[in-house]
Amino acid sequence: MEPIRSTLQKNLDSVHQQISAACQRSGRQAGEVQVVAVTKYAEPAWFLELAKLHPTFGENRPQQLADRQQQLPHIRWHLIGQLQRNKVNLALRHASMIHSIDSIRLLEAIRAASDAIGFKPSILLQVNLSGEATKSGFSPIELIQSWPDILRISSGLPIEGLMTMAAESDDPESARPVFRGLRELRDTLSQRPDSIESGLKLPQLSMGMSGDFLTAVEEGATLVRIGSRLFSGLETSPS
Ligand SMILES: *Cc1c(COP(=O)(O)O)cnc(C)c1O
């Protein structure tokens, strides 16, 4: 078997090459897109090696993120999975960005905790554009209607953009309307006078995973969350 490191490097290189090509196709600069390496299924040996090659990791669970952040403090850790309000302090202490703010109540809890303990990670609001009941997130209508409240609650917190997940599918094209919808929603929100007055530009769009990140890049993703694709070809150690 190849060493873990060379497999990871090959996978990373190929992801970056494909992102560059997708940027070229769509008139974007490759430097506008950051890869968040999702480590939730990775064995320790894998993410420890990956940490020598790549600076930004994503985790779904706050406790696992906190444990791994302490193990690898030079990595920027992004929380991408659902956050319960009782885990907000943990998330604030260990995450540099939280992608998954899916309700006003959670935003309020983050604001309160951030005021109390002084940690201010960048935050993204999660939007459910696929309409699946199993996915969390604001509906587009809810986000637009609550926008004045969101601006008021988040004042002083860096809301940097929006995040979404497309429905699972073997066809990446099926995700395109969802990704385009997120970009259009961002444009709508960022052009509002109240957003402009608050200085909220919403530059970040977190969208696209292993199966659909190229479509997401073509539609304007600035953060792609890639897990399985980075670890393909690695063999799970026998337990
Ligand atoms: C697991 C996960 C990913 C990465 O999924 P892959 O298909 O393995 O690339 C991205 N985003 C979220 C929210 C996830 O839970």
Q: Which residues pair with 162 in a beta bridge?
A: 125, 205
Q: In this predicted structure, what is the pLDDT of residue 133? A: 83
CA distances from 174 to 93, 180, 211 (A): 37, 11, 11
pLDDT tens digits, 44-63: 999 999 999 999 999 999 99
Q: Long-range contacts for 25-32 (Cβ within 8 Å, ≥24 apart)? A: 25/218, 26/217, 26/218, 26/219, 28/217, 28/220, 32/222
CATH number, domain of 81, equals 3.20.20.10
Q: What is the 194 CA–ligand 1 centroid distance (Å)?
A: 33
CA 137 / ligand 1 centre spacing (Å): 16
49-58, 62-71, 205-214, 229-238: segment of lowest average pLDDT:
229-238
Residue 233 in domain: no
**Residue 236 counted as domain residue:** no
Ligand 1 atom closest to the Cα of residue 80 is 13
Q: Considering the entire predicted model, what is its pTM?
A: 0.96
* Residue 100 confidence (pLDDT): 98
Task: Give percent above pLDDT 70 in the chain.
Answer: 99
In a domain, 239, yes or no: no
Ligand 1 pocket by Cβ (under 6 Å): 38, 40, 60, 80-81, 165, 209-211, 225-229
Q: What is the pLDDT of residue 209?
A: 97
pLDDT digits 0-9 by tens, 2-13: 689 999 999 999
| Helix/strand/coil (H/E/C) assignment for every residue in the chain | CCCHHHHHHHHHHHHHHHHHHHHHHCCCCHHHCEEEEECCCCCHHHHHHHCCCCCEEEECCHHHHHHHHHHCCCCEEEECCCCCHHHHHHHHHHCCEEEEECCHHHHHHHHHHHHHHCCCCEEEEEECCCCCCCCCCECHHHHHHHHHHHHHHHCCCCEEEEEECCCCCCCHHHHHHHHHHHHHHHHHHHCCHHHHHHCCCCCEEECCCCCCHHHHHHCCCCEEEECHHHHCCCCCCCC
CA of 59 to the centre of ligand 1 (A): 9
Cα of 196 to ligand 1 centre, how many Å? 32
159: β partners: 123
Which of the pair, 221 or 120, is modelled with greater confidence? Answer: 221
Instruction: Give the Å distance between the CA of 116 and the centre of ligand 1.
Output: 31
In a domain, 55, yes or no: yes
pLDDT level of residue 236 (50, 70, 90 thresholds):
confident
**Short-list 123, 115, 120, CA closest to 97:** 123
d(CA 107, CA 125): 9
pLDDT of residue 226 exceeding 60: yes
Atom number of ligand 1 nearest to Cα 38: 4
Model pLDDT for residues 69-112, shown as the tens digit of each residue: 999 999 999 999 999 999 999 999 999 999 999 999 999 999 99
- Closest by CA position to 136, among listed 94, 92, 108, 102: 102
**Structure confidence at residue 1 (pLDDT):** 55
| Residue nearest atom 11 of ligand 1, based on CA coordinates | 225
- Kindly give, in sequence order, each residue whose CB lies less than 8 Å from that of residue 211, ignoring residues fewer than 6 positions away: 168, 169, 170, 172
pLDDT-based confidence at 239, cuts 50/70/90?
A: low
What is the best residue among 80, 126, 205 to mutate for testing ligand 1's pocket, by most ligand atoms within 8 Å of CB? 80
Atom of ligand 1 nearest to the CA of 229: 9
Q: For residue 181, what are the domain limits?
A: 2-226
- Answer whether residue 238 is part of any domain: no
Which of 14, 15, 34, 40 should be mutated for ligand 1, with most atoms under 8 A from CB? 40
* Inside any domain, residue 232: no
Mean pLDDT of 22-44: 96
Over the stretch 167-206, which tens digit does the pLDDT of each residue have?
Answer: 989 998 999 999 999 999 999 999 999 999 999 999 999 9
In a domain, 21, yes or no: yes
118 in any annotated domain:
yes
User: Which tens digit of pLDDT belongs to each residue from 101-153?
Assistant: 999 999 999 999 999 998 888 999 999 998 888 889 999 999 999 999 999 99
Task: Quote the ligand 1 centre to 138 CA distance (angstroms).
Answer: 19
pLDDT, position 155: 87
Q: How many domains does the chain have?
A: 1
